Amino acid sequence: MPNPQGFDPKAYWSATLKLLVTTLIIWFIVSFGAGILFRDALDGIHLGGYPLGFWFAQQGSIFVFVGLIFWYAKRMDKIDREHDVHED
Amino acid sequence: MELKTLTFIVVGLSFALYIGIAIWARAGTTKEFYVAGGNVHPIINGMATGADWMSAASFISMAGLIAFLGYGGSVYLMGWTGGYVLLAVLLAPYLRKFGKFTVPQFIGDRYYSQTARIVAVICLIFISFTYVAGQMRGVGIVFSRFLEVDITTGLIIGMGLVFFYAVLGGMKGITYTQVAQYIVLIFAYTIPAVFISLQIAGNPLPQLGLGGHTGDVYFLDKLNQTVTDLGFAAYTSGNKSMIDVFCITLALMAGTAGLPHVIVRFFTVPTVHDARLSAGWALVFIAILYTTAPAVGAMARYNLHATVNTAVAAGGDVFAPESSIQGETRPEWMKRWEKTGLIKWEDKNGDGRIQYYNEKSKDPAFLAKAEAAGWKGNELGSDKKGKFDGTVDRDIMVLANPEIAGLPNWVIALIAAGGIAAALSTAAGLLLVISSSISHDLLKGVFAKDISEKGELMAGRVAAAVAVCVAGYLGYNPPGFVAQVVAFAFGLACASLFPTIVMGIFSKTMNRGGAIAGMLTGLIFTMTYIVYFKRDVLLGMDKVPDSQWLFGISPEGIGVIGMILNFVMAYIVMKMTPACPEHIQHLVEGIRYPRGAAAAQAQH
């Protein structure tokens, strides 16, 4: 299938990759970062009855994941439109 | 009404619903059979993915695992949800744009190689059968425990039902029954959790209840106090090494993203935009259960301790003789579940009371106190082949949870229906990817290329039927290590399919040789490592001590190293073999942007 007219695949792909990297950094920070690597430090802080590191590991990371996917989907839609490769 | 009658009615009604949906959603074409016609709404698909994903293990075992592991249980919570982020940004939209029916088909086309496709089919079949055997076993167990029919009868009923809607309806039938099954299982899971959270923390939301107060202290502080008083490790601290926790979490995440039965769900939505959204919706529906599970686990653990030691809830000395309840007056639910062997009381010191504590505590002060109190070993555990085993079976934490908390009978009946729904929906999804990899990849793709659409549809049905029977057999006669080898499914998906698909999308130059070498390296390394360190359960040989683990990584987490080896080997072989042809590079370019996704599938 030929590329759509006037479409710059390089620019589109680099915008996509930039968003992807941002998304994966957040994904990493809330789970591996807050829930595992820096848990001990965060456990000193409390969120209600939750030690914060424990909260990230068992609740917080999951909430962030959900929000993150929708945010990513929205940003991708924007990139698709800017490069005129969105679906009708 | 008697519990058993009530359970029969609730489970029977749920079955009638599934059968009704299966008849309504029959498949007429291969496209309906493989991808439900490709026009499933993203929210519906998200719900179906949730049911597909949440297996008997998620429903029955996970909260119990968390209950006994405490913080250590986080690996499952993060690992089995974080994979959806990877799916949404790395795989689902691009595979949807590619617009074919199966995962091996993508690998075969992208790497212009029938060999790659066949290797992918082998990975897929191995992963899926490991997984499905556990589901069928789960169906049998729920039947036998709640309905008191024997496991074989339970299995045959379960097989018959899956056979009916998977063979008749293919992906279309499965999708819509999974939606119904999601609704059944999520109600079954959350209703008892809400009641228990209200009882313990006075908050109807378990997610808040876990961080809330019980009496005038925080519940988690109270739980930590309780378990440490009894010699166990504090609930909110872990006992696995950080590198192991890290690797297991990552292996479960990448494994989730690489599981074929999850990936194919994203082939069923109309557009790339919908595939991204659908991953989000799937995680919403999964998160409802996964954020509830930590509360279910923690509260069940507390209730169990509070049941057998009255000083836990009332305060006072847990070592005082009258704090431990008398065996004669133990609650009804305990007697009932003793029949299943999941829980067992053995009066080691002959005082007629139940002492439940950590006899293997490393704290000498605690052990001295226990001895001074006349405790002669932990007395609450489970029955392993007639022998007392010092650990309470984790499954009881969900199965008997409503009874432990004294909830009404209809809630217990609902748990049975929910457990069966969770097992059936996952089994059906797995059986479909197995059958489509046989009819579409092996027959249509390699061995019988000129098969007609009608012939292929028939082959798909026959393959599904055979797969149901094999799964039933494995469930009836499990190779003894089903529960142990779930690590296999995730480790292999993480080390074989996931990296290969990711490279197929994000590298234009990755070639046939590199992909095959990488897949085989990841597969063989991971499989060898798991078999080596689990050879005591798999082959009945002497156990290799855990101290020999590579970098201290357990078999559950080794898929991560397999994945790294896959990437490295693929890169090295790519440099040494002929470059990826021009037309494949165009193909990769084409799957990277969304426009034309509907057309890609129509051409098929």
> Nearest residue of A to residue B72 by CA position?
A57
**Residue B594 and residue A63: Cβ atoms within 8 Å?**
no
Beta-carbon contacts of residue B491 (< 8 Å; ≥ 6 apart): B251, B255, B526, B530, B555, B556, B558, B559, B562
Q: Are residues B280 and B266 in the same domain?
A: yes
Interface test with A, best of B58, B78, B86, B235 (most A CBs within 10 A): B78
Interface test with A, best of B53, B86, B89, B289 (most A CBs within 10 A): B89
**Residue A65 and residue B89: Cβ atoms within 8 Å?**
no
**Residue A69 and residue B245: Cβ atoms within 8 Å?**
no
Of A47, A51, A69, the CB nearest to B84: A69
Distance of CA B519 to the CA centre of its chain: 24
**Residue B294 and residue A61: Cβ atoms within 8 Å?**
no
**Residue B78 and residue A61: Cβ atoms within 8 Å?**
yes
Domain boundary among B426, B451, B477: B477
Q: Are residues B413 and B284 in the same domain?
A: yes
Q: Are residues B389 and B436 in the same domain?
A: no
CA distance to partner chain B, nearest, from residue A75 (Å):
11
Looking at the domain assignment, is residue B495 inside a domain?
Answer: no
Q: Are residues B469 and B373 in the same domain?
A: no
Looking at the domain assignment, is residue B561 inside a domain?
Answer: no
CA dihedral B104, B110, B116, B122 (to 10 degrees): -10
Of A4, A27, A86, the CB nearest to B82: A27
For residue A62, what pLDDT is reported? 94
Chain B residues near residue A55 by CB distance under 8 angstroms = 211
Instruction: Give the model confidence (pLDDT) of A28-83 as tens digits.
Output: 999 988 888 888 888 888 888 888 888 998 999 999 999 999 999 999 999 988 88
> Nearest residue of A to residue B214 by CA position?
A49
> Nearest residue of B to residue A10 by CA position?
B589
The Cα B140–Cα B142 span in angstroms is: 6
CA-CA distances (angstroms) from residue B75 to B65, B248, B293, B561? Answer: 11, 6, 13, 17
Of B85, B592, B593, the CB nearest to A69: B85
Instruction: Give the model confidence (pLDDT) of B386-426 as tens digits.
Output: 788 888 888 888 888 888 878 888 888 888 888 888 888 88
Q: Are residues B215 and B353 in the same domain?
A: no
> Nearest residue of B to residue A55 by CA position?
B211
- Full-model pTM: 0.90
At B324 the three-state DSSP class reads strand
Chain A residues near residue B290 by CB distance under 8 angstroms = 62
The Cα B177–Cα B170 span in angstroms is: 11
**Residue A54 and residue B595: Cβ atoms within 8 Å?**
no
Domain boundary among B438, B460, B477: B477
> Nearest residue of A to residue B293 by CA position?
A58
Looking at the domain assignment, is residue B513 inside a domain?
Answer: no
Looking at the domain assignment, is residue B505 inside a domain?
Answer: no
> In total, how many domains does chain B have?
2
Is residue B174 within a helix (H) or strand (E), and if so which, with residue range? helix B168-201
- Do strands B213-214 and B387-389 pair parallel, antiparallel, or not at all (unpaired)? unpaired
> Nearest residue of A to residue B603 by CA position?
A1
Looking at the domain assignment, is residue B465 inside a domain?
Answer: yes
Domain limits at B386?
A: 300-402
Domain boundary among B386, B402, B418: B402
Residues facing B91 on adjacent strands: none
∠ Cα B348 B349 B352 (to 5°): 95
Q: Are residues B37 and B52 in the same domain?
A: yes
Count chain A–chain B contacts defined by CB atoms under 8 A. Answer: 145
Residue B427 sits in a domain of what CATH number? 1.20.1730.10
Interface test with A, best of B74, B203, B218, B277 (most A CBs within 10 A): B74
**Residue A23 and residue B272: Cβ atoms within 8 Å?**
no
Chain A residues near residue B58 by CB distance under 8 angstroms = none
For residue B253, what pLDDT is reported? 94
**Residue A69 and residue B88: Cβ atoms within 8 Å?**
yes
pLDDT mean over A2-12 = 78
**Residue B236 and residue A51: Cβ atoms within 8 Å?**
yes
Q: Are residues B288 and B305 in the same domain?
A: no
Q: Are residues B279 and B317 in the same domain?
A: no
Interface test with B, best of A69, A71, A80, A88 (most B CBs within 10 A): A69
Chain B residues near residue A20 by CB distance under 8 angstroms = 89-90
Q: Are residues B231 and B317 in the same domain?
A: no
**Residue B210 and residue A87: Cβ atoms within 8 Å?**
no
Chain A residues near residue B584 by CB distance under 8 angstroms = none
Residues in chain B: 604
pLDDT mean over A1-12 = 76
- Do strands B380-384 and A46-47 pair parallel, antiparallel, or not at all (unpaired)? unpaired
pLDDT at A2 over 70: no
Q: Are residues B140 and B62 in the same domain?
A: yes
CA-CA distances (angstroms) from residue B203 to B193, B194, B195, B200, B319? Answer: 11, 8, 9, 8, 31
Domain residue ranges in chain A: 17-82
Looking at the domain assignment, is residue B537 inside a domain?
Answer: no
Distance of CA B528 to the CA centre of its chain: 23
Which of the residues in chain B have pLDDT under 50?
A: none
Portion 176-215 of B in contact with A at CB < 8 A: 207-208, 210-213
**Residue A69 and residue B283: Cβ atoms within 8 Å?**
yes
Q: Are residues B454 and B364 in the same domain?
A: no
**Residue A80 and residue B593: Cβ atoms within 8 Å?**
yes
Q: Among residues of chain B, what percentage have pLDDT more than 70?
A: 96
**Residue A49 and residue B593: Cβ atoms within 8 Å?**
no
Beta-carbon contacts of residue A45 (< 8 Å; ≥ 6 apart): A51, A52
For residue B505, what pLDDT is reported? 93
**Residue A48 and residue B77: Cβ atoms within 8 Å?**
no
Q: Are residues B32 and B158 in the same domain?
A: yes
Chain B residues near residue A76 by CB distance under 8 angstroms = 93, 273, 276
> Nearest residue of A to residue B597 by CA position?
A87
Tokens of B527: 């499989």
Portion 535-594 of B in contact with A at CB < 8 A: 589-590, 592-594
The Cα B504–Cα B46 span in angstroms is: 25
**Residue A35 and residue B596: Cβ atoms within 8 Å?**
no
Chain B residues near residue A9 by CB distance under 8 angstroms = 589, 592-593
